[in-house]
Each structure stands twice: as C-alpha cells, then as structure tokens.
Amino acid sequence: MQIDSARELKARLGARLAGWPAPVSASGLAPGRVWFPPALGLSPLAGGRARLAIRVATPADAATLLEGVADAVRAEVDVRVIGPVRAQTSSPSAPAVPPADLQRRVRPLRPGLSVAHPAVTAGTLGGVVRMGGRPAILSNNHVLAASDAASVGDPVLQPGPADGGTGADRVATLSAFVRFTAGRNLVDAAVAVLDPGVEADPAGYPGGPLAAVVADGDEVDPDEAVEKVGRTTGHTRGRITAVEVDGVAVQYDDVVHTFDGQIEIEGVGGAFSAGGDSGSVIWRSGDRAPLALLFAGSDVGGAQGGGVTFASPLATVLAALGAEW
Amino acid sequence: MGGVSDRAAARAAKSALSQQLAAVPEVVGIGLARRGTGYVVKVDLADPLAARRVPRDVDGVRVVTSVVGVVRPL
C-alpha cells in the first residue's frame, strides 16, 4: 500500500492496541501467564509504497487486533505469529552457541549455520528472507555465489564443504547475487531459495527472533551495541565503531574490491568475527533490529587489537537483492 | 585541531577528505565515528606510517586514525 496509508493504518492499530484491556484478559491468558503485546512496524518498499508488518504471540491476538479492518487492506498486511518474544536483554542468559554445533549438518536450518556454494569453503547462513514470497537463505556473494564464479541455479550446501558438506547436503538453490564492480560496491550479498522439503527456523537466533523491521541505515549510530551468530565464532557481541564508511578496500583472492556506506564493528570481550562468519546478520542489542550483513574483517586494530569487522546495511542488501526480511 | 561536529558536518568533511586521500593506497576506509556528543571522521589505515599523510582536521571537523591492517572477506 502507499506509505501514507500504511502509516495511517499503523497509527490506527497502535491506538487500538493502547486501548486494549489489561493484558491478561486481552489474550485470555490464565492468571500468571505473561502476555506479549503485538509489534507493529513499517517496511519501506519501492515506489513510495510500504508494508505494515505485525508480529503477534498468538493467532487470537492477530484476530483481535485486525477486527473490523477491510479484507482488501488485510491482504496487504504482513502478519506473522512468532510466539512469545524473550526480553530484549535476554542474550546474556541465552545458552551459548558452541561453534561446533554450527558446523554440523543441522535441520531445520537456522541462522548461524555453516553454508556455502560447493566451490567455497564455508560461510554463514545469516537469516531466512523472502524472494518472490519464497523462503530463501541470505548470505554473501563470496559464500553462496563463489565471488561471481557461480551461476543462478547452482546448489548451496549445509554444512559448507570445509565442514564436510557434499552434494547430499544440498539445501537451497542460488537465486540472485550482486556482482562485484570495479567501481564502488555497496554489498557482498546473495540469496538462495530453499529447496522443496527443506525447513528453516527464521526466528532461531540466540535470545529469540529478531525485530520485524530492518533498521534504517541513517539511524544506525556509532557506539551502539550489536550481536551476531556465525559459523566460526558463534554468538558474539560488539560495538559499532564507525558508520557510513567509504572506500573500504577488501583484498579478495586476486583483486581488491572497494565498498562504500559500510558499518565498522569491534568485538567486546574478544574478536567479533573470524573467517567463516561471513554472511552473519548483525542485530542491535537494544531493540533486536536486524541492521547489517557481515562480510569482511581485519586481523589487527580495534580497541583490543583483535581486528575490526565490516558489514553492509541490511536495508541496502535487501534492496539490492530484491529480497524482503 | 578540529572538534566534534554534527553528523552532517562530519559527513561533508568525510567527502572532502576521501578525495584528498584517494591516492593513498594505505587508506582502507573513511567513516564517521562518535567522540563524546558529536562526530569525527575516522580514517582506517593498513600501515601506521600512512598516518602522517592524514590531516588532523578537515573544515573544522576532527580526524582520527586507526590502524586496522589488511581487510579480507571472512
């Protein structure tokens, strides 16, 4: 729908939500149960349009919230039942994610697992996005598309070959990637649509699902606390040390590609990333908003000398691929 | 030395500095960082010796350097 209509609907539903009765009766929960209020957000689309995203804990919450909304309008609203969302600061108590568990063959698929094109060693399954309405794996071009050497239609393996993945571990089919250019690049990104019968848990991040709406690149601020889960270092925490970083010169095998508009991160209490973590989705700790796609890093630098990590704004990545969060 | 600035001023200074340092191969990234309540321009370097080629401020905006070495895909 047009962005103004989406804003208007969001405001209307937000007001309705504010007027709901006491939480316990709103969802008809038994006394003592915790109620998780629905989350509303806008996802900007091309052409001045936007989609209203609603995330609810139970189907009953969705029915109540959308009562009286015309069917034609409902058809343009993205409603998903995501179950209870754990506290935003729950990650410290979330179970650790041993990297060895991320390097095995795991079904259903979830964020953080080892994946790769058959010609690549291993990278990370960053998240499950939608391509033309179909679920798809998000990662980097250099993970899923072998740095432009692959063709659309090629297989994607879980785990990646470096972790023992073979043709029998095929989970997805490369459907789009952003080719590198000799000029300024914005992303190192690719998506692969899940093969029939392969299931994935898009909400399977440490601490629970991420927010429904991707952070706007302009609102990402230095010093914000962030997290990621990746194939090599597992679940790590970091701090954004720079934004809008231009001229990031990344040494690929035999060529340097230069990137503009990147986000720089350093680890807190250890390195934020290492080889094999490429493709991880990075989220903001404060509100769990997904904000960037990890793709590169250095061995030195950062306050603790463990190197810095570079990531592309997720909104830019999704727009370049034509994918939806 | 320049001080901390708002994001728009730091962004303009970053653009000017990017052109100024375009021919310095040891510069591997130029971005915006926070210092206190404002923004500075942050220049990432592959080699510490290149720091002497980076000015300490641009148009009144403070410039800081950081040696990060070579950046590779992970």
Identify the pLDDT of residue A14.
62
* pLDDT: which is higher, A34 or A246: A246
Residues of chain B neighbouring A307 (CB-CB closer than 8 A):
68-69
pLDDT higher than threshold 90 for residue B70: yes
How far apart CA A30 and CA A46 sit, in angstroms, is 43
A142 lies in the same domain as A223 = no
What is the least distance, in Å, from the CA of B25 to any CA of chain A? 9
Instruction: Indicate the number of domains in chain A.
Output: 3
Identify the pLDDT of residue B22.
94
A324 within domain boundaries = no
A313 lies in the same domain as A223 = yes
pLDDT band at A83 (very low <50, low <70, confident <90, very high): low
At A181, is the secondary structure helix, strand, or coil? coil
Identify the pLDDT of residue A22.
43
What is the least distance, in Å, from the CA of B17 to any CA of chain A? 11
Helix, strand, coil in percent for chain A, rounding step 5: 20, 35, 50
pLDDT by residue (tens digit) across B5-29? 899 999 999 999 999 999 999 999 9
A45 within domain boundaries = yes
A237 lies in the same domain as A188 = no
Identify the pLDDT of residue A25.
33
Identify the pLDDT of residue A306.
84
Among chain B residues, CA nearest to A146: B73
Residue whose structure tokens are 């794996």: A137
A58 lies in the same domain as A9 = yes
A 10 A CB-CB count for A185 gives 22
Among chain B residues, CA nearest to A302: B68
Identify the pLDDT of residue A33.
44
A 10 A CB-CB count for A2 gives 11
A189 within domain boundaries = yes
How far apart CA A131 and CA A244 sit, in angstroms, is 27
What is the least distance, in Å, from the CA of A185 to any CA of chain B? 13
pLDDT by residue (tens digit) across A276-303? 999 999 999 999 999 999 999 998 988 8
Residue whose structure tokens are 């697992």: A113
A244 token code pair: 């809008």
pLDDT by residue (tens digit) across A248-271? 999 999 899 999 999 999 999 999
Smallest Cα–Cα separation from A292: which of A208, A247, A200, A230? A230
Q: Do A245 and B73 touch (CB under 8 A)?
A: no
Residues of chain B neighbouring A241 (CB-CB closer than 8 A):
33, 42, 66
Q: Do B73 and A140 touch (CB under 8 A)?
A: yes
Identify the pLDDT of residue A92.
47
Computed over every residue of chain A, the mean pLDDT equals 85
Residues 6+ apart with CB under 8 A from A5: none
A226 within domain boundaries = yes
pLDDT by residue (tens digit) across A97-129? 899 999 999 999 999 999 999 999 999 999 999
A69 lies in the same domain as A113 = no
A237 lies in the same domain as A158 = no
Identify the pLDDT of residue A79.
72
Q: CB contacts < 8 Å between A and B, how many?
A: 111
Percent of the residues in chain A that have a pLDDT greater than 70, as a whole number: 78
Secondary structure E strands in A165-277 = 170-177, 184-185, 190-194, 225-230, 234-246, 248-251, 256-259, 262-267
A186 lies in the same domain as A140 = yes
Question: Read out DSSP for chain B?
Answer: --B-B-HHHHHHHHHHHHHHTTT-TTEEEEEEEEETTEEEEEEEESSGGGGGGS-SEETTEEEEEEE---EEE-
A37 lies in the same domain as A117 = no
pLDDT higher than threshold 90 for residue A78: no
Whether the predicted interface score ipTM is above 0.85:
yes
Which candidate from B28, B29, B69 shows the least CB-CB separation from A299? B69
pLDDT by residue (tens digit) across A13-72? 666 766 655 443 343 444 444 445 565 554 545 565 556 656 556 667 777 778 778 777
Identify the pLDDT of residue B46.
96
pLDDT higher than threshold 90 for residue A184: yes
User: How many angstroms separate the most distant Cα atoms in chain B?
Assistant: 36
Residues of chain B neighbouring A115 (CB-CB closer than 8 A):
none
Identify the pLDDT of residue A219.
83
The ranges assigned to domains in chain B are 7-67
What is the least distance, in Å, from the CA of B15 to any CA of chain A? 9
At A25, is the secondary structure helix, strand, or coil? helix
Which candidate from A123, A222, A301 shows the least CB-CB separation from B66? A301
How far apart CA A19 and CA A129 sit, in angstroms, is 33
Restricting to B residues 8-37, those with a Cβ less than 8 Å away from any Cβ of A are 11, 14, 18, 22, 27-34
Q: How far is CA A49 from the centre of its chain?
A: 22
**A81-115 b/e with 16+ CB inside 10 Å = b?**
ebeebbeeeebeeeeebebeebbebbeebbbbbbb
Where residue A236 sits, what CATH number does that domain have?
2.40.10.10
Among chain A residues, CA nearest to B26: A249
Residues of chain B neighbouring A245 (CB-CB closer than 8 A):
29-32, 42, 44
A199 within domain boundaries = no
Smallest Cα–Cα separation from A115: which of A281, A272, A271? A281
Q: Do A246 and B73 touch (CB under 8 A)?
A: no
pLDDT higher than threshold 70 for residue B35: yes
pLDDT higher than threshold 60 for residue A318: yes
How far apart CA B61 and CA B6 sit, in angstroms, is 9
Long-range contacts, stretch A296-299, CB < 8 angstroms, 24+ apart: A296/A188, A296/A248, A296/A250, A296/A259, A296/B71, A296/B72, A296/B73, A296/B74, A297/A272, A297/A273, A297/B71, A297/B72, A297/B74, A298/B28, A298/B68, A298/B69, A298/B70, A298/B71, A298/B72, A299/B69, A299/B70
Which candidate from A247, A273, A298 shows the least CB-CB separation from B70? A298
Identify the pLDDT of residue A39.
57
Smallest Cα–Cα separation from A311: which of B29, B64, B18, B65? B29
Expressed as residue numbers, the domain containing A164 is 104-194
A99 within domain boundaries = no
Residues of chain A neighbouring B64 (CB-CB closer than 8 A):
none
Identify the pLDDT of residue A62.
73
Percent of the residues in chain A that have a pLDDT greater than 90, as a whole number: 65
Q: Do A296 and B29 touch (CB under 8 A)?
A: no
Averaged over A143-168, what is the pLDDT? 98
Domain boundary among A160, A194, A228: A194
Residues 6+ apart with CB under 8 A from A122: A103, A114, A115, A116, A143, A159, A160, A161, A162, A163, A165, A231, A276
A118 within domain boundaries = yes
A157 token code pair: 């393996």
Identify the pLDDT of residue A37.
57
A311 within domain boundaries = yes
Identify the pLDDT of residue A26.
40
Backbone angles phi, psi at B5, to 5 degrees: -135, 175
pLDDT higher than threshold 60 for residue A246: yes
